[in-house]
Chains A and B, each alone.
Chain A
């Protein structure tokens, strides 16, 4: 398969026919019928059985939502066991046999993509995997959703090609598009890009300005990389504090230590043992 596969969505072309949704459900063997929604289900139509959905906005605007396959995915970075993996090629995939079901990935994803099988006794995280297995074996040449699209509103290629194509379209019809490629820089760049004639801030959780263009995993790693030093530092500080205090107390009351130690049984043994 090609390296750094990428999907480009052109919002101006999408007619909202949901052929992509049906194709996705078919290739991933998802049930065609949705179970009754839980309270607090995602408003965007994504669920454990719908890995891509069409968001509809006023004025016939249809935006396809799916996993963005970030270049530096937050979900992969937060998974404590590495059940979510960024493959060498690019798609973010999931291995249920490793997962322990902590759902941190769902909290960490800025786009609210991973969904959970709440009613299952052995629930998995479900999300778009960009048809990774089938692309890799060469069974299909492009993801099912892209293939199903009748209007070429969603196209597939390497990330460089797609960025070039997006720029070409933006340049060709500058008055039609907003001059921005969503996914080029957001959260460190994503492998699903959008060009549009409306603002697409609604694809992420409500706070786009906090999101920035920096990769999210950096934020935790900045804190985590200090961990070994904290560990050693705290240990050294405590040992030093103990040594100084212990020494000072002994110097202050050399004869009294012996008497006091006799009085209590449990608390003192350790100290004397270490002296």
Chain B
């Protein structure tokens, strides 16, 4: 019975999850591009500081600048580790690459087994660190919503179960069940990507670009504000 569920989770469900993530993210990017161009079209000032926008994006994408920031150094560092683990392990683990090869026909560089294990452990620890960091800092605790707490926990489940699958002898539960949980939790996470803040994996550039582009009111918006407030008689 469990066998059947594993087969289901490895086959159709995995495909569904990957498709959901890829197409969902594609949709988000397209909408974003369209809305930016639309907003730009309506804007009064149409000069775009492309250079600044690209520089800002690079600054945030490449870690050294980010790590040099003064405030919350430890938190930033943990976050960096977390991101490295969360990207490297699922994509480059030898076991996963063999799945990609079977399903997609693509294969690439694989992480050495031992490194992958340690990276997974580090990631789990980093996720824990992120939660603690979020809880300990007053303003970030106040700003946090429910899913901000849940997402790191959800991200960690595939890592823990993945470790157990790789080392069944350390697993307190039967390997089959753990493997199923590993698959299902990872797939759930993949499906969740386009619908949660995990979408920043493709939309990270938007916030920086918007900062540079966004603060332009559309032409005639003053007029509209006046109408909405019911103060047609007053000047803009």
Q: Do chains A and B touch in the complex (CB under 8 A)?
A: no
Interface residues, chain A, with chain B CB atoms under 8 Å away? none
Interface residues, chain B, with chain A CB atoms under 8 Å away? none
